[in-house]
Every structure is written in structure tokens, then in C-alpha cells.
Structure 1
Amino acid sequence: MKEPEMQFTMDGAPLDLDIGDLVIAGWTGRDQAAIQHHIEELVAIGVKPPSATPLYYRAAAAQLTTAPEIQVVGEATSGEVEPLVVQAGGRRWLGLGSDHTDRALEAHSVALSKQICAKPCANELWPWDAVAGRLEDLLLESWIEEAGGWVVYQQGTLAAMLPLAVLIEGAGLERLAANGGAAMMCGTLGAKGGVRPAARFRMRMSDPATGRRIEHEYRTTTLPEVA
């Protein structure tokens, strides 16, 4: 029997899912000014502006990981907190992930910069129906470790992004999941103080209506760049 690609939990119970496709939705802000702000953040570090918004990048599903540590090459990678939609077996869940990206490579190719890095995610998923009516109220937050302490890096609600239903349709997530599971990271929020690397990244998604939270923290180990 084939082993599950990912092992999640839902309400404390194990949930084993095969994830065969991974989509990274980019430039998903609802506020055009916010989109422009994020574009300018990346232009400042040499990334070309997108050809259209939103865009749906593809990455290897094997890059998804719930591990507390990832390995990267070089000093120019950073995380981004994002809602994670998982579709499998006719069911849908909402989780939390980080679109960890190589910023140096991003200046050459956004698609390659996303594929090259592992995509950390929390192992907990919420049933879609349990939060579908209040998605825009959900709060996303991230912190990075700087100078020996945790600093707020991103903060905002899902209302800052295009509706997740729009992104799910745009990515064709249900079609991708027809023959197996599929997952999509749904875009991020602007970074306070600008996009920058950090060895440790902490993220949280909170539901104000219930007080429930999904949290995950991971460490980045940097491998040397060898020419």
C-alpha cells in the first residue's frame, strides 16, 4: 500500500493525505495599493514585477513539510505566512503554511525561487465547512527572530486577499485534486520593515470567533554556496 504523502491532524485525530500537486498563488492582494506595496518590496531586492495578478505558480508537492527545520542554500531566503487550502477525496481543509523563497534566485525567476525551497506548514488542518462562513475574519501573523528576540514580521486578516474561493477556481484546484490530493498556498501579507531573511520563523492563524489557532515554527539551516 502506498504511504501517505503528508500526515496532518484534524481535531487531534490523524489525517493522512496524498498530496500530488502543489500550487503557489502569488499577487493575491485584494487592495491594489497593497499589491503595489508588495511588488515594490520585491522590486527593491531585484525582482521583476508580475505579468498579471494573481498568478499561479507550480511547485513539487514533495516540498511541503511539517518538519521543524529546513535546509537552504545561501543567505537570501525568507518565509511568508499564508493560508493553505488542501483538497483531497472530495473534501477540503484549511491550514497554514510558509512560502519560503530564495530571494536571490527570485530576481532571475520567481517560479524557480519558489520551487527551490521547502514549504513548511503546520500539521493541523481545519475542516473547510467549519470556517468557510468567516474566512475573511481569520488573522494571519508571523514573527522572525532578530537580535536575539522575536519581531512581528507580518500581520493582517484574510480580508486583505482575494476571496479564497476565487483563488481555488483560478488555480483549478478541484480539477488538480480529481486524481489525488492537491494543495495551494494562497498569498501573503506585506512584511513590516521589508522582506529579509531570518534563521527562525514563527507563524499563526487565529479564528476570533472560536479562539482556535494553528501555529508552526521552523528553523532554517543555511548550506554553503559552492561555485
Structure 2
Amino acid sequence: MRFVAEGREIEARIEHLVVAGWTGRDIGAVRHHIEELAALGVAPPSQVPLFYRVSQSLLVQAPRIEVLGPDTSGEVEPLLVNLDGTLWLGLGSDHTDRQLETVSVAASKQACPKPVSPMLWRFDTVAPHLDRLILSCEIRENGEWTLYQEGTLAMIRPLGDLVAQSGLDTGGAMLCGTLGAIGGVRPASDYRMQLRDPVLERSLYLEYRASALPVVA
């Protein structure tokens, strides 16, 4: 996989991928969300946060992904990549099968590709003002772009803590958790995502379409 960082192309061999879940910084809100999902049949996590190991082949840089059935949705998330001991920050989507999630959260994470932006920032360039970075996601509904998620990284556990807890080492990548969905979690086919740095006045972008394959028996 190739990324562009600091004006140059980086060849990245990703050897393992982790999806961090239940990473909200407000513990009360996390517990409330766990209870909401439990009412829908989603099993609660064994610990908070929880680190799901999934296939590294799920990481893709493509404007279109294919998923099985109509019950999937994306989530805007910060992406961390450890390359030869240097930590980089990027942008990705933890696209997830919501129907399968009621059976197994771990299986739902493994079921869908994870689109990521080709651009990276050195983590140490944003570390001093990390909580001020802004994540946002729009989905296309009824032909119009609708704001689906928005908030700062202050709503997610400190990324350095997630690195330490997960043991993310060289060759590893991690999606670091997401924000609440405005109007509730729901399927969509088109996504437009951004990670904005208001201090250094720059942004990472990710846009993709999820095409649903038919479910046959």
C-alpha cells in the first residue's frame, strides 16, 4: 500500500490491522451506548476499550467497495500507522455489517473493506493540538449530502493511550474509534469524510461508494 506524506510517496507494508472499539472518552456515554446496542441484540464488549484484530487485506484505497447486502454503514475514524517505528496519522472508515453485528461484533468488523485516505501526517506534528482536530462524515440521502458525524478528537480516548494499550508496533495499522451518528446509525451508499487540522490549516479527505451485492441462498 502506498501513502503520500510530507510531499513524498511512502511504500507501506501493513502486516496487521486493529480496529479499536468503545473508545469514547466520556465513559458514561460509552456505557449508555452499550446499553442501547444491547437492547438491539448486540453483545456488550468484554472490556473497554476493546481491540479487534482483523485481516490487514481489508485496508483499501479505492473510490468504490463491494459489500454483501444492504445493511452496512461506514464510520469516520482516525487511522494510525506505525512504519519503521515512526507513527503516522491518517483517515479511514470502519465500514461494518450492521446485521452481522447483532450476532458478533468481531465478525461484523471482518466482513467489510476498510477504505483509507492515501494521505498521512506525522503524528508528532499534530500531537500538541490533537484534541482540536475535527472529524466529519457526510452521507448522501435522497440525492443530498447530509451531515452524519462531526466532532473533535477530544471525544475519543487519547490516541497515544490507544497505541500503548493495543501494543501497536511497526507494520501495524489501527482504526481508533468513531463519533456518534447524527440521527442514528443507518446504511448509506456514498460517504464523504474529512479530518481537519484548524491549527496547521490542512485536511485529509476520504470519499467512497459502497455497492451492495445481492444476498442469495
2:180 to 187, 190, 206: 190
Cα pair distance change 1:88/1:185, threshold 3 Å: same
Per-residue CA deviations over 1:5-46 (Å, capped at 9, x if unaligned) read: x11101332111100000000000110233134335534543
Deviates more, 1:38-47 or 1:25-34: 38-47
Percent of aligned pairs with the same amino acid: 54
CA distance in structure 2 between the aligned counterparts of 1:87 and 1:8, rounded to whole angstroms: 12
1:45-124 maps to which residues of 2 (within 5 A)?
Answer: 45-124=40-119
Partner of 1:165: 160
RMSD (Å) for aligned C-alpha atoms: 1.2
Cα pair distance change 1:16/1:196, threshold 3 Å: same
Partner of 1:35: 30
Question: Does residue 1:208 correspond to 2:203, yes or no?
Answer: no
Matched letter for residue 29 of structure 1: G
CA distance in structure 2 between the aligned counterparts of 1:221 and 1:106, rounded to whole angstroms: 19
Question: Does residue 1:7 correspond to 2:2, yes or no?
Answer: yes
Per-residue CA deviations over 1:97-153 (Å, capped at 9, x if unaligned) read: 000000000111111100110000100000111111111111000011101001111
* TM-score of the pair, normalised by structure 1: 0.92
CA distance in structure 2 between the aligned counterparts of 1:66 and 1:34, rounded to whole angstroms: 32
Cα pair distance change 1:155/1:167, threshold 3 Å: same
Per-residue CA deviations over 1:68-125 (Å, capped at 9, x if unaligned) read: 1000001100000000000011111000000000000011111110011000010000
Partner of 2:142: 147
* TM-score of the pair, normalised by structure 2: 0.96
**Matched residues, number:** 217
Secondary structure of 2:119's counterpart equals coil
Question: Does residue 1:137 correspond to 2:137, yes or no?
Answer: no
Secondary structure of 1:62's counterpart equals helix
Matched letter for residue 39 of structure 1: I
CA distance in structure 2 between the aligned counterparts of 1:41 and 1:156, rounded to whole angstroms: 21
Partner of 2:16: 21
User: Gapped runs of 5+ residues in structure 2?
Assistant: none
CA distance in structure 1 between the aligned counterparts of 2:178 and 2:17, rounded to whole angstroms: 16
Matched letter for residue 12 of structure 1: G
User: Gapped runs of 5+ residues in structure 1?
Assistant: 1-5
Secondary structure of 1:198's counterpart equals coil
